[in-house]
């Protein structure tokens, strides 16, 4: 290394000053070599050090997460891991008057020097010698930035290191980038760093339009952040602000009268940072590649209303109830509002309940019937039996413990009858249904060893699904059965617009339209007029659900261009006896649609909700009655579990069932003969329990356990 430097100095020494230069006698030839050698000995180590010890610029990237709505309004700000509030500064988002005032006060020649203002250093040194104290500092903004990146005790060595670091920063960054780095790291007292964090803490807003007193306060605080904290030492902050204002008036930045007037304002008080969309912001932060200014698809005004609605929904209760709500724009699948809980201060409030699997109750029934329509085994006006029925050891029952006999599929869905829904799922196939939902992006949380019996329980909520899953499905229902992923971020929206993801067809557009039409005619919540009777109200196709043990109350709907899901329950899955989806969640869902009407534009997707499906609802003769080709016989009389009274010694009953081909009846294993009319008649003997069995010509069997009682009930 030494030899290389000597050779370089020798090479440079060949160059002599011009012959006519008047100071030639000061620079003999050997001096040139010595000067060149000295310069190289200084520069070479600097270059090596610059390469080996780069400045820790990365510290400026450790910033707070800032989550915004779709228009750029800040909803929530996250502290960094060390507990500091440090928001990345962008010059285009900071008041230009503040930038001008800062440079006039701190570093007039910032745009001209190379990181070190030697005139300012000389002035500071002169003031130190003449006054015995530092009257004006000599550190440039670049040098201050270097000190913020690597805090050191103030001494001569530290100043030399700052000069070197400032030179490094100027080599790597533009002037605007250095200024942004300074405004990101500048201390403002306590755990506040950066002009944006200080502006939010003390003024409750971005520093994009500041008054003179605010500008002066933000300039004064970094010089002595703890001693001048407005929230702890307001008088010291006012004095420092006045000093800055007077100086800026002298510099011509502010008019003297304006500066004097601004000095009269009281010191600002520290406020809290925005915490809107608490759980949705967590989701956005996980999805975003960078925490800086995350633009979501949420709408701030609707989000605020939805959170208030959720709070009212859970607020009056004393049993630890929470509420979760989601609103999805069907046209784009963008999430417009998402409340993960009603109140973070109550039990379970910190959990994002839109992302926790819960029993969906009856909310999946529309999709079961939709697939049955696609399969051609049912239509809206198909007659389906609502009578007791057993599937091996699984015997579904209706919510009100009442059976209605033959009903149409539309009636079964509108009144959320359980037995018909299980029959439809049995026809569609439970595993196929679960696979169809999973393929669409809505995974079911199934038991580890799910069998056919557990599969059929899906129709009544015997699985786990999240609010997000249900929102995805009902958005698809309102878009002709087309399922697409939900969009949370502006970046995701742009990517989806470019890549155009292929939708998964859960059901045909015709079936989806028929399902929506059926749900739109379902009873409205108490106190609400049906949409058909009001001109201004949107048509809402809603379905409610209540899980086993009253643990989950649901309402999900599509209408007016938006899909809305409401869940109410306890975060710990505790029961809430008597609380149903219709009574608790459905009114909240309609409140959310009211808020949508106030805040967002109405939209329509796909065919009109009230448009008649092709061919109407009248099913062809083959679909006039619901049957499954490979289903076992269905016993109509005597129903399973029934108690039948004998009217005398010779009492007889005509057995009734539906099935394929010839049906053979057995009582306690003994076959029964048909009479001349073709009916199978049973004449029970003694009172007691009997097993009645019917077998079709394919060997499929259905059993009913019956108790025969005497007229007096014994």
Token pair 């005790």 is found at: 153
39 within some domain? yes
**For residues 384-403, b (16+ Cβ closer than 10 Å) or e, as one string?**
bbbbbbbbeebebebeeeeb
Domain CATH code at residue 208: 1.10.3810.10
Those residues whose C-beta lies under 8 Å from the C-beta of residue 239, and which sit 6 or more positions away, are none
Give the Cα separation of 711 and 16 in Å (integer): 135
Q: Are residues 227 and 134 in the same domain?
A: yes
Whether residue 18 sits in one domain with residue 117:
no
Residue 250 and residue 149 share a domain: yes
Measured CA to CA in angstroms, residue 593 lies from 259, 528, 534, 588, 602 at distances of 51, 12, 15, 9, 10
Query: How far is it, in rounded angstroms, from Cα 489 to Cα 492?
Result: 5
Domain count, the chain: 3
Question: Has residue 307 been placed in a domain?
Answer: no
Backbone angles phi, psi at 576, to 5 degrees: -130, 80
Domain end, chosen from 262, 294, 321, is at: 262
> Which tens digits make up the pLDDT trace of 565-591?
999 999 999 999 999 999 999 999 999
CA angle 308, 340, 562 (to 5 degrees): 75
Q: What is the pLDDT of residue 714?
A: 64
Contacts 24+ apart (CB under 8 A), 428-434: 428/368, 428/371, 428/372, 428/375, 428/377, 430/455, 430/456, 430/458, 431/455, 432/371, 433/367, 433/368, 433/371, 433/458, 434/458, 434/463
Largest CA distance in the chain: 147
The last residue of a domain, from among 233, 262, 291: 262
* pLDDT 10s digits, 232-287: 999 999 999 999 999 999 999 999 999 999 999 999 999 999 999 999 999 999 99
- The two beta strands, 294-295 and 66-68, are parallel
Rounded Cα distance between 487 and 490, Å, is: 8
Distance CA 701, CA 640 (A): 13
Is residue 340 in a domain? no
Residue 626 in tokens: 């619901």
Q: Is 106 a catalytic residue?
A: yes
Residue 664 belongs to a domain with what CATH number?
2.60.40.10
Q: Are residues 107 and 233 in the same domain?
A: yes
What's the rounded Cα separation, in Å, for the pair 164 and 53? 11
Residue found under tokens 């008080």:
269
Residues 95 and 233 in one domain: yes
Any domain includes 650: yes
Report, as ranges of residue numbers, the positions in the chain whose pLDDT lies below 50. 1, 4-5, 8-9, 11-12, 15, 21, 23-26, 134-135, 450-454, 606-616
416 is catalytic: no
Within this chain, do residues 221 and 106 fall inside the same structural domain, yes or no? Answer: yes
- CB-based contacts of 592: which residues, under 8 Å, 6+ apart? 306, 309, 325, 327, 564, 566
On the question of a cis peptide bond just before residue 594, with omega within 30 degrees of 0, the verdict is: no
Spatial CB neighbours of 628, under 8 Å, sequence gap ≥ 6: 377, 423, 426, 427
Which tokens sit at 141?
């903004």
Give the number of other CB atoms < 10 A from CB of residue 363. 28
Tokens matching residue 262: 């601004």
Please, are residues 324 and 607 in contact by the beta-carbon 8 Å criterion? no
Residue 175 lies in a domain: yes
pLDDT of residue 685: 83
225 shares a domain with 103? yes
Tokens of 133: 């104290």
- The share of the chain scoring above pLDDT 90, in percent, equals 58
Q: What is the dihedral of CA 22, 25, 27, 31, to 10 degrees?
A: 180
What's the token pair of residue 504?
Answer: 């998964």
The overall average pLDDT reported for the chain is 86
Query: What backbone torsions phi and psi does residue 555 show, to the nearest 5 degrees?
Result: -150, 130
pLDDT for 455 = 82
Q: Which has the closest alpha carbon to 555: 521, 519, 511? A: 519
Q: Which of 196, 230, 262 is the last residue of a domain?
A: 262
Q: Are residues 111 and 194 in the same domain?
A: yes
Instruction: Please choose, from the candidates 542, 597, 583, 595, the residue with its C-alpha nearest in 3D space to the C-alpha of residue 565.
Output: 542
pLDDT of residue 129: 54
Q: Is the same domain home to 246 and 139?
A: yes
Residues 145 and 199 grouped into a single domain: yes
Domain match, 170 and 254 both = yes
What are the counts of helices (DSSP H) followed by strands (DSSP E) for the chain? Answer: 22, 23
CA torsion sign for 600, 582, 466, 471 is: negative
Q: Is residue 62 part of a domain?
A: no
Question: Which residues form the domain of 663?
Answer: 634-709
DSSP 383-435: EEEES---BTTB----TTS---EEEEHHHHHHTT-HHHHHHHHHHH-HHHHHH
Distance, in Å, from the CA atom of 27 to the CA atom of 29, rounded to the nearest integer, reads 6
Instruction: Answer for the pair 183, 86: CB distance below 8 angstroms, yes or no.
Output: no
Q: How many CB atoms lie within 10 A of CB 83?
A: 8
Q: Do residues 123 and 234 both lie within one domain?
A: yes
The answer to whether the predicted template modeling score (pTM) of the entire model surpasses 0.85 is: no
Q: Does residue 152 fall inside a structural domain? A: yes
* From 281, 362, 416, 547, the catalytic residue: 362
- Rounded to whole angstroms, the Cα distance separating 253 from 238 reads 19
Residue 490 lies in a domain: no
């Amino acid at each position: 290394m030494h030899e290389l430097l000597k050779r370089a100095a020798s090479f440079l020494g060949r160059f002599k000053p011009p012959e006519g230069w008047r100071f030639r006698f000061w620079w003999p030839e050997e001096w040139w070599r010595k000067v060149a050698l000295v310069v190289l000995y200084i520069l070479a180590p600097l270059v090596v050090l610059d390469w080996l010890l780069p400045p820790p610029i990365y510290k400026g990237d450790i910033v707070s997460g800032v989550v915004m709505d779709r228009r750029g309004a800040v909803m929530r700000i996250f502290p960094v891991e060390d507990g500091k509030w440090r928001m990345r500064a962008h010059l285009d988002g900071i008041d230009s008057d503040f930038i001008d005032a800062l440079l006039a006060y701190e570093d007039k020649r910032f745009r001209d020097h190379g990181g070190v203002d030697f005139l300012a250093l000389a002035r500071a040194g002169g003031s130190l010698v003449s006054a015995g104290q530092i009257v004006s500092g000599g550190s440039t903004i670049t040098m201050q930035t270097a000190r913020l990146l690597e805090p050191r005790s103030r001494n001569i060595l530290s100043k030399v290191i700052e000069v070197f670091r400032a030179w490094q920063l100027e080599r790597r960054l533009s002037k605007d980038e250095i200024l942004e780095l300074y405004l990101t790291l500048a201390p403002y007292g306590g755990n506040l760093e950066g002009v944006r964090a200080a502006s939010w803490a003390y003024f409750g807003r971005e520093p994009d339009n500041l008054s003179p007193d605010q500008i002066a306060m933000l300039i004064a605080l970094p010089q002595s952040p703890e001693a001048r904290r407005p929230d702890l030492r307001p008088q010291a902050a006012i004095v420092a602000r006045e000093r800055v204002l007077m100086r800026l008036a002298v510099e011509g930045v502010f008019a003297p009268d304006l500066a004097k007037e601004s000095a009269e304002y009281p010191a600002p008080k520290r406020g809290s940072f925005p915490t809107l969309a608490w759980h949705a912001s967590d989701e956005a932060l996980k999805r975003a590649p960078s925490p800086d200014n995350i633009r979501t698809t949420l709408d701030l005004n609707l989000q605020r209303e939805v959170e208030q609605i959720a709070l009212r929904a859970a607020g009056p209760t004393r049993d630890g109830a929470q509420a979760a709500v989601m609103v999805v724009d069907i046209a784009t699948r963008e999430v417009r509002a998402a409340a993960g809980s009603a109140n973070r201060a109550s039990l379970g409030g910190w959990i994002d309940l839109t992302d926790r699997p819960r029993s969906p109750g009856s909310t999946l029934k529309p999709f079961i019937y939709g697939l049955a329509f696609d399969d051609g085994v049912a239509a809206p006006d198909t007659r389906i039996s609502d009578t007791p029925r057993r599937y091996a050891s699984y015997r579904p029952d209706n919510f009100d413990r009442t059976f209605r006999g033959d009903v149409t599929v539309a009636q079964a869905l509108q009144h959320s009858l359980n037995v018909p829904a299980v029959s439809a799922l049995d026809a569609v196939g439970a595993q196929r249904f679960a696979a169809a939902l999973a393929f669409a992006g809505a995974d079911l949380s199934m038991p580890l060893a799910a069998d056919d019996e557990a599969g059929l329980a899906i129709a009544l909520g015997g699985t786990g699904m999240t609010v997000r899953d249900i929102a995805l499905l009902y958005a698809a229902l309102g878009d002709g059965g087309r399922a697409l992923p939900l969009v949370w971020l502006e970046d995701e929206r742009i990517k989806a617009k470019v890549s155009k993801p292929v939708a998964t067809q859960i059901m045909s557009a015709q079936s989806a339209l028929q399902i929506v039409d059926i749900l739109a005619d379902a009873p409205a919540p108490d106190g609400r007029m049906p949409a058909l009777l009001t001109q201004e109200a949107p048509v809402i196709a809603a379905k409610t659900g209540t899980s086993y043990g009253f643990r989950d109350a649901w309402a999900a709907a599509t209408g007016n261009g938006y899909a809305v899901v409401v869940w109410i329950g306890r975060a710990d899955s505790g029961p809430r006896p008597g609380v149903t989806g219709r009574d608790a969640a459905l009114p909240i869902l309609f409140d959310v649609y009211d808020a949508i009407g106030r805040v967002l534009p109405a939209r329509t997707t796909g065919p009109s909700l009230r448009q008649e499906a092709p061919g109407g609802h009248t099913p062809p003769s083959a679909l006039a009655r619901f049957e499954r080709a490979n289903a076992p016989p269905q016993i109509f009389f005597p129903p399973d579990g029934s108690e039948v009274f004998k009217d005398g010694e010779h009492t007889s009953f005509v057995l009734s069932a539906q099935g394929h081909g010839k049906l053979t009846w057995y009582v306690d294993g003994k076959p029964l003969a048909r009479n001349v009319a073709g009916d199978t008649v049973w004449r029970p003997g003694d009172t007691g329990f009997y097993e009645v069995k019917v077998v079709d010509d394919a060997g499929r069997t259905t059993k009913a356990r019956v108790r025969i009682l005497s007229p007096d009930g014994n």
